[in-house]
A and B are shown apart, each in its own frame.
Chain A
Amino acid sequence: METVLRTSNLKRTFFNGNVTVQALKGIDLEVSEGDFVVILGPSGSGKSTLLNIIGGMDVPTDGEIIYRGRPLQNMSKHELTLYRRKAVGFIFQFYNLMPNLTAYENVSLVSEITDHPLDPLKVLEEVGLGARSDHFPSQLSGGEQQRVAIARAVAKNPDILLCDEPTGALDLETGKQVLQYLHKFNREMKRTLIVITHNAAISRMADKVIHIKDGRVAMVEHNSQPVTAEEVTW
């Protein structure tokens, strides 16, 4: 499998007045095409910082991050925008939908700015929201909103789907449902899925689990027999 993303000795230091915080102290990892990768770590471990850098929202202070041969750390603001636009689909803990756009419009918003988008309505049908496509976020439950968010990320037809605690705000059943859709995307469309979480249960579904602790990779697990979403519980 081709390597989609690779980091080496990735460091990120925050300077806050007189205080210097080293959030990442040299991260080395590799993600292959079509992988389901879970980045697992307690809060404060640096996993959010890592997600931000992988997502092209932040740049490292030192080290390398290579996306399909192109170093992200050297990219201009504009190139990073294009990277976010074309390569990455984001899913957030709190959905971050546009409150004054309907479900359908939230999805088509991204399809309007990408080159090879999927049909917004089809994607919404795939996450089981075809009938609710003209509802506004405030008219949808949390799980439904997160499914709209998944549809929005998927409709861009991105290379990587990047999820930040996607089930963090949901109850178990709804959370499992969401994971199911993410899994489907990963398996059926053969797209790379990176989930950042502190919820260890999710890691049972992954091909590869990267444990982050105190700004470093503590351990990398390969899972030869990942389970389905139905089998997960927490």
Chain B
Amino acid sequence: MHTEAIDPPGISWQRVSPKYVTVRLVQWALGNLITVLVLCLPLVLVLLGWWRWPPLWLAILVPAAALVLAVWRLVLIPRQVRAIGYAERDDDLLIRGGIFFQRTMVVPYGRMQYVDIGVGPVERGLGLCTLKLHTASPGTNALIPGLPAAEGARLREQLSARGEARLAGL
């Protein structure tokens, strides 16, 4: 399906590091492979003849479906990572993400309460970090994952300085 972007036109997005794909791959492996393996357990037990109840077709179908879904997600990962973008405008920061389920978010600098930088074990190995913006609203789920560490630090300082200049109340 042709996917037209919903974000405002005329914005040049900065993309996150392609290395972030690796982080997502590790997350994917941890999540999906374990699920598939657990779902395969009844199949093994049925094949060994220890269990009688799940008929063979069901025991095969469930993990197979999970596997297909997992592979589908795996295929999507590089595209999803490419879809993540951010843009610093004069008064606000734009963050976009997703292809199928698109989201474009605008966070005014004056509304930022604080900026977090988080680094997970895999990210640390790749020299990446995740930037998180917090406003007074719990609904603001503004994450920029997969930033190179230096760019993350620069962005953090930049956002803090701009936030300071445009401070607004609640």
A binds B: no
Q: Which residues of B contact A (CB under 8 A)?
A: none
